Amino acid sequence: MSRNAEDNFQALDFIIFFGIIAISLAIGSFFAFRDRKKKSTDNYYFGERQISTIAVAISISVSYKSAVSVLGIPADVYLHGNAIALVPVTFLLADIMAIAYHIPLFHRLKMLSVFEYLEMRFHRSVRMLVSGLRLMSYTLYMAVCTYLPALALHTVTPLDLRWTIALTSIICTIYTSLGGVKAVIWADVMQAGVMVAGMLATYFVTLQSLGGFDAVMEFAARGGRLTMFKFDPDPRVKYTVWSIVFGMAINSYYGLICNQVYVQRWLSCKTIRQARIAVAMSFVPLALMDILTVLTGLGVYAFYEGCDPLLSKSVNKPDQIVPFMMVDLFRDLPGMAGLMVSTAFSGTLR
């Protein structure tokens, strides 16, 4: 890095960052204390199926957005363009399938795990194979999700990368284990607010510093980053309408429907109708956050046009570009850098 990390994070930034972490721990401790006499599996895994529909909707949306999205999508847009802005279309298709078919199915079966369906429908060996593969997949995925916010914090503070990774892992384990699904869902609600606030702040301050939306689009067009409606049939092209809408549709279908993370939230609703409403409502914040990450990526490109921090070796990895820009943007706004890094961490603390 070209700057001293010690000069980036000020006292107020640390207070905001650790304050948000403390709130997540407090939520887990609150539900652990309140439900200390309720030892049932139904309460721990499904909150006795009495959790607010709105809270479930927000939790569903934020569970799909991780630090990979908060830091990775803007970096990808910075490098390759905004074609990925079409992804919310695939969310809508997946939500329609969930509302029409999957939610009634899983609610009627009352399963603890989505993998139980594979045993019912096929054979126990299929369930064991798929659940084992999913466990491996989640282990690798969570390693990436833990590494990225730790990298963001390491980029703008003197904290060692290994300590930031350990901090993230310990906090997630503690509040999730203490409070069960209630703690996870209500912490998601708080973290969703942090994520949206951080994304909006980054985007609007970027617009202000560059002269508005039209100016950012002009920068992006000049740099060939407006690639949203590319219909090139060549499979070697990284992003096209075909690869996003059709290719990502399969990923979104699995990610939002055949995934224990989301099925568990559906089953936390009392009725099929409430679960359907939660899924329908979740599309709005999910699409909003996705669009904001794309707009942030265009803003990052416009901000650094002509002075690429990767080429100048100011940063070593593309995933460091967003936190690096945050420090540049909010250098004279105490506390904002802390909010921005908290945005990335909130994508992992879920």
- Residue 12 neighbours by CB distance under 10 Å: 15
Q: pLDDT-derived band of residue 125, with 50, 70 and 90 as boundaries?
A: very high
Please list, in sequence order, all residues whose beta carbon lies within 8 angstroms of the beta carbon of residue 105, skipping any fewer than 6 positions away: 117
**Which three-class secondary structure state does DSSP give residue 15?**
helix
How many angstroms separate the CA atoms of 81 and 224, rounded? Answer: 7
Say which residues have a Cβ less than 8 Å from residue 122's Cβ, sequence separation at least 6: none
> Between residues 112 and 36, which one has the greater pLDDT?
112
The confidence score (pLDDT) of residue 277 equals: 92
Q: Is the pLDDT of residue 347 over 70?
A: no
Task: Identify each DSSP E strand in 37-81 by its residue range.
Answer: none
* 25 token code pair: 């721990």
d(C-alpha 130, C-alpha 118), whole Å: 8
- Res 223 pLDDT > 70: yes
Mean pLDDT of 320-346: 75
- In this predicted model, what pLDDT tens digit does every residue of 262-318 receive, in sequence order? 888 888 888 899 989 998 998 888 888 888 889 988 988 888 887 888 787 777 777
Query: CB–CB of 84/229 below 8 Å?
Result: no
Q: Determine if residue 81 is left, alpha or beta; phi over 0 gives left, psi from -120 to 50 gives alpha, anything else beta.
A: left
Is pLDDT of 4 > 70? no
Chain-centre distance for alpha carbon 196: 11
Q: What angle do CA 160, 161, 163 make, to 5 degrees?
A: 70
The answer, yes or no, to whether residue 6 has pLDDT greater than 60, is no
Structure tokens of 304? 């650094």
Q: What is the mean pLDDT of residues 98-102?
A: 88
- Taking the C-alpha atoms of residue 276 and residue 252, their distance in angstroms, rounded to an integer, is 17
Token pair in block for residue 113: 């795990």
Instruction: Give 146-190 pLDDT, tens digit per residue.
Output: 777 777 777 666 677 777 778 777 877 776 777 677 777 888 888
215's CB contacts (< 8 A; 6+ apart) are 302
Decide: 153 and 345 in contact? Cβ < 8 Å: yes
Mean pLDDT for all residues in the chain: 80
Residue 270 — φ and ψ, nearest 5°?
-70, -40
Give the per-residue pLDDT at 226: 85
pLDDT-wise least confident of 73-77, 98-102, 261-265, 344-348: 344-348
Give me 165's structure tokens. Answer: 């990774």
- Residues 329-346: what's their mean pLDDT? 74
* Per-residue confidence (pLDDT) for residue 66, from 0 to 100: 65
pLDDT tier, 194 (very low <50, low <70, confident <90, very high otherwise):
confident
User: Which residue from 217, 124, 183, 237 is spatially nearest to 349, judged by alpha carbons?
Assistant: 183
The amino acid at residue 12 is L
The domain ranges of the chain are 5-346
Q: Tell me how far apart the alpha carbons of residues 279 and 263 are, in angstroms, rounded to a whole number.
A: 11
Residue 348: pLDDT band (50, 70, 90) is low
Contacts of 209 (CB under 8 A, 6+ apart): 303, 329
Q: Between 2.130.10.10, 1.20.1730.10, 3.40.1080.10, 3.10.129.10, what CATH number should domain 5-346 receive? A: 1.20.1730.10
d(CA 317, CA 310): 7
Choose among 111, 103, 113, 112: nearest CA to 280.
103
Measured at the alpha carbon of residue 24, what is the angle toward residues 20 and 25, in degrees to the nearest 5? 115
